[in-house]
Amino acid sequence: MKNLLILLLLCAGLSVQAKKPLTADPKASKETVKLYQRLQKLQQKGTMFGHQDDLPYGNDWYDQPGRSDVKEVCGDYPAIFGWELGHLELGNAYNLDSVNFEKVIVWIREMNRKGAIQTISWHLRNPLTGGTAWDVSNKRTVASILPGGPKNELYRQYMDKLATFLLSLKDDKGHYIPVIFRPFHEHTGSWFWWGKDLCTPEEYKSLWRYTATYLRDTKNIHHLLYTYSTGTVNSVEDYMERYPGDDLIDMVAFDAYDYGGNFAASLQKNCEIVTTVAAQKNKIPAVSETGANLVKNPDWWTRTLLEVIRPFHMSYALVWRNAFNNKKEIPYAPYKGSPDEQDFLKFYNDPKTLFLKDIQ
């Protein structure tokens, strides 16, 4: 009898645990929960390759339907597609990198149909000064847009535009397409108005909570997985300093670029940090942005990136855009004829890396 009682109590305990939602949003849509589960599974298989703005343009082309620098090199698409929403808040038809928002919706739909995964960043303008996301001239910006602040109403209008865009992401069956949303990134540095020296940890966390709960509870948006994405840090404590809370975050990630120095050591350290946090909190770790000067480092893909990430279960590593419109910015993905082409093929053929065909 006593044993039976213990068994019953154990079962009750297990079922309570089983009911705990996987995603931060307890009302996450079926497709969103599925995406989360898929990410968990894929993480065991390998690390997905991602590319920012893979379809809108490439190293020397713009808006040529069907083109992708990555596909032209290795014959496959990235598994993760990065999209950018900066200037959506202004009501513009094009983002800050000259990409048409209506087309982004069509591309997201198309790549979702093909089984690819979408992630969204947002270099939104500074609501207090009217400057860009990089305008760090005023330390009151974050405080000014929180409830009670002088720019709260303007920020709410920004979020309304964001919500309208997110609610237009539907698949052929009319279900919302789940996306990984990664706002207020690299906040451990001070180059964006939401950065470290521009607000207190409490203000930063409030900004996150205010934004995520507005989208979730006021706008009824339940097809997002939220990513907390720092720059490189030195410890779990540094990583967690501005963490908004387990009830808001699904993925723990960081951005790290190879601009020389001991990049491999820093990449490894940050992989260790997010892996530790992810394991403790049952979240998914990723390298949300990376890249290197591939002219100087033509074998960076295998010698640095792959070698460092191999022992980890990072969900994905996304490289930044091939900026057709800004020749001062180096291309971060390979393209036909780029000096890193051969090494990228090795990277592509390694079983650890996952491209679109590997996740279908």
How many Å apart are CA 280 and CA 282, to the nearest integer? 6
Tell me the C-alpha to C-alpha distance, in Å, between residue 203 and each of 77, 99, 143, 159, 244.
39, 31, 6, 17, 10
How many Å apart are CA 213 and CA 117, to the nearest integer? 23
User: Any contact of residue 156 with ligand BMA (CB under 6 A)?
Assistant: no
Which DSSP helix (H) or strand (E) runs through 38? helix 30-45
User: Any contact of residue 321 with ligand BMA (CB under 6 A)?
Assistant: yes
The CA radius of gyration of the chain, in Å to the nearest whole number, is 20
Please give the residue whose beta carbon sits closest to ligand BMA in the complex.
84
> Which of 97, 250 has the CB closer to ligand BMA?
97
Contact 306, 349 (CB under 8 A): no
> Which of 96, 345 has the CB closer to ligand BMA?
96
How many Å apart are CA 227 and CA 65, to the nearest integer? 30
Hey, what amino acid is at 29?
S
Q: Of residues 3, 326, 351, 360, which one binds ligand BMA by CB under 6 A?
A: 326
Q: How far is the CB of 84 from ligand BMA (least distance, A)?
A: 4
> Which of 84, 340 has the CB closer to ligand BMA?
84
Q: Of residues 25, 84, 89, 255, which one binds ligand BMA by CB under 6 A?
A: 84
User: Any contact of residue 153 with ligand BMA (CB under 6 A)?
Assistant: no
User: Any contact of residue 303 with ligand BMA (CB under 6 A)?
Assistant: no
How many Å apart are CA 288 and CA 109, to the nearest integer? 21
| The token pair that represents 357 in the structure block | 């065909």
User: Any contact of residue 96 with ligand BMA (CB under 6 A)?
Assistant: yes
* Segment lying near ligand BMA (by CB under 6 A), choices 267-275, 300-308, 318-326, 342-350: 318-326
> Which of 86, 298 has the CB closer to ligand BMA?
86
Task: Enumerate binding residues for ligand BMA (CB under 6 A).
Answer: 84, 86, 96-97, 123, 320-321, 323, 326, 329
